[in-house]
Structure 1
Amino acid sequence: MFARAVFAATLCLAAPCLAQTQITPEAFLDQAVGKTLTFSGYKTGELVGTEQFLSRDKTVWARTDRHCTYGQIDVRGPLICFIYEDHPDPDNCWMPFIDGEGLTVISRNFDIQRITAITEKPVICEDAPLS
C-alpha cells in the first residue's frame, strides 16, 4: 500500500499532472475494450505500438516492427498491469490519466505514453497470434 502511495505521489514529478486527472483502470478499460489504441511517447510523439483490447482481461500488442503478442490484463488497485506471452514481467503496470487531450498512461518507471488514436480496426501483425 505504501509503495502505491509513493508511486502516485511521485507521478507529479514525472509529468504535468496538474492538468491530468487519474482515472481507474476500470474507467480506462470502459474506453478501450473492443478498440485498438495507438501509444506514442509523451515527449517525443514517436510511435511505441498499438494494442487491441479484445476483452477486459486480454489484449494483442503490436510493436512498431509489427511483431504481436497476447497479453493478460490484471487490475491491481489504481494500476492496470499487462503480462505478455513474450515478456512475462509481472511489474509491467501503468496508471491511467485523462486530460483535455485524451488518455495518458504512466508506468512504474515513469515512462509516459499518450494514446494518440482509438479505432475499431484490428492490429496488423507480421506473425498474427493464432487464438
Structure 2
Amino acid sequence: MRPILLAAALCAATPALAAEPMSAPEFDAYTQGRTLYYNNHGTAYGVEEYLPGNRVRWSFLDGQCKEGTWYQQERFICFVYEDQPGAPQCWTFWKEPGGMRALFEDDPSATELYEVTDADEPMLCLGPDVGV
C-alpha cells in the first residue's frame, strides 16, 4: 500500500514541478487589457499596462513611462521599448496560483518578478521633461 501512496503523492506534485512557461497566446489572454504591478523579493519593482496588438507601457513607478511591444521567441516573451529598440528584454513567464512569475532570461541568478496586484485604472505617466 505504501508504494501506491508514494507514487500518488509524487504524481500529484509533478505538475507544480514541471510547470510549463506561458506561450504567447496564454500570455496575451492573461495580460491583455490589464495593468499589473510587480515586485522583486518583496520590493516594488514596476508596473506594466498591456494594450492590444502586443503593445505595452512600462514604468519603474517613477511616472516615466516607456512604450514598447512584446513577442515570443522560443520559450521567452521578449519586450522591446522605445528607448532601447535594439535591446530586447526576454523573460520566461509562469502562471501560478498567486499570479504570474517572471524570470529574466530564465536565469536563476537574474531578476525575478512576481505579480502583486492588478490595477483598476490606467497607470500614471507624466509628460516629458520640459526645459526653461
TM range (shorter): 0.7 to 0.9
Q: Which residue identity lines up with residue 104 of structure 2 in the other structure?
A: S
Structure 1 residue 21, shift from structure 2 partner: 4.6
Where do 5+ consecutive residues of structure 1 fail to align? 1-16
Q: How does 1:63-74 map to 2 (within 5 A)?
A: 63-74=60-71
Q: Which residue identity lines up with residue 119 of structure 1 in the other structure?
A: A
Of 77-86 and 101-110, the range deviating more from structure 2: 101-110
Structure showing greater radius of gyration is 2
Structure 1 residue 81, shift from structure 2 partner: 0.7
> TM-score, normalised on structure 2?
0.73
Aligned to 1:114: 114
Where do 5+ consecutive residues of structure 2 fail to align? 1-15
Identity of aligned residues (%): 24
Provide the secondary structure at the position in 1 that maps to 2:29. Answer: helix
Q: Which residue identity lines up with residue 81 of structure 2 in the other structure?
A: Y
Structure 1 stretches of 4+ with a deviation exceeding 6 A read none
Distance 1:59 1:77, change over 3 A: same
> TM-score, normalised on structure 1?
0.73
The alignment covers a number of residue pairs equal to: 110
**Deviation sequence 1:40-74 (CA, Å, 0-9, x none):** 10x2x111111111124111112221100101112
Tell me how large the CA RMSD over aligned residues is. Answer: 2.1
* Cα distance between partner residues in 1 of 2:18 and 2:124: 33
* Cα distance between partner residues in 2 of 1:72 and 1:91: 10
Aligned to 1:4: none
- Residue 67 of structure 1 contacts residue 125 of structure 1 at CA under 8 Å; is this kept in 2? yes
* Cα distance between partner residues in 2 of 1:101 and 1:21: 16
Aligned to 2:10: none
Structure 1 residue 19, shift from structure 2 partner: 8.1
* Cα distance between partner residues in 2 of 1:74 and 1:53: 12
